[in-house]
Amino acid sequence: MASPQTYVWFITGASRGIGLELTKQLLDSPSNIILAACRNPSNATALNALSSSSTGRVHVLTLDVTNHQSVRDAAKEAASILGDSGIDYLINNAGIIAADSAFTAQPEVMQKLFDTNVIGPAYVTQVFLPLVEKSKKKTVVNVSSELGRLTADFGTLSTSYSITKAALNMLTYKQQKERPDIVFISLCPGWLKTDLGGQNAPNDVDVGVAGIVKTVTGLTPQDSGKFFNYKGESLPW
């Protein structure tokens, strides 16, 4: 499907927030084809509007990262859409947050966050790996957070979320070690005004996403296994 001048992006959690804005900004370049995945496409009004006006460059797929069959079905649909092409940039963006601490975190909440923020990206990457292998850029981006950095001190803030992002960073490290032929990074988009980040966040979502696009498209094989912020700075974990 893709010509030598085009790049294919696959984005999870694309119906709102970072995923939606990423889809929007990627459309600014005619070289991008976007496979935008979300749990309930029928309710994704803004995403569907982008798809309708994209002249065939945005394809909306159903994907619940916590449902293994849904992941496999989405991979089959993506392969059908792409034909002989692959996925250049796999963006594991879907995620959820909870406000808790080490001694108030509820087991069922922690499990839900782990399923979405860690197991989801791990399984999506496993299932979609054959499509990534077929591409030119062969890049996987795990959207993480500085809250998951052991070298950053955020006190008791969002403990369950922080734990899952630390685990996601370790997943990135393990993925890179096992497949050095593919670029794997963790990336913090910054604290943005989204449903997840809240309206007290210091940056608008378009600012963080512009940084994501610039950082991701500028990656080299030597960057694999690193943790970046949206400014393109490599940070210690």
pLDDT in tens, 209-219: 999 999 999 99
161 is catalytic: yes
Report which of 133, 138, 35 is spatially closest to residue 81, judged by C-alpha positions.
Answer: 35
- Is the CB of residue 116 less than 8 Å from the CB of residue 94? yes
pLDDT for the residue 191: 59
SS3 187: strand
CATH among 3.40.50.720, 1.10.10.10, 3.30.70.330, 3.30.910.10 for 7-235: 3.40.50.720
| Distance from the Cα of residue 167 to its chain's centroid | 15
- Among candidate residues 7, 89, 161, 230, the one labeled active-site is 161
66-109 confidence digits (pLDDT tens): 999 999 999 999 999 999 999 999 999 999 999 999 999 999 99
pLDDT at residue 189 in the model? 87
CA angle 148, 151, 153 (to 5 degrees): 75
Tokens at 123, concatenated: 């399984």
Domain spans of the chain? 7-235
Token readout for 215 is: 């950082």
pLDDT, one tens digit per residue, over 8-36 is 999 999 999 999 999 999 999 999 999 99
Global confidence as pTM: 0.94
Strand partners, 227: 186, 235
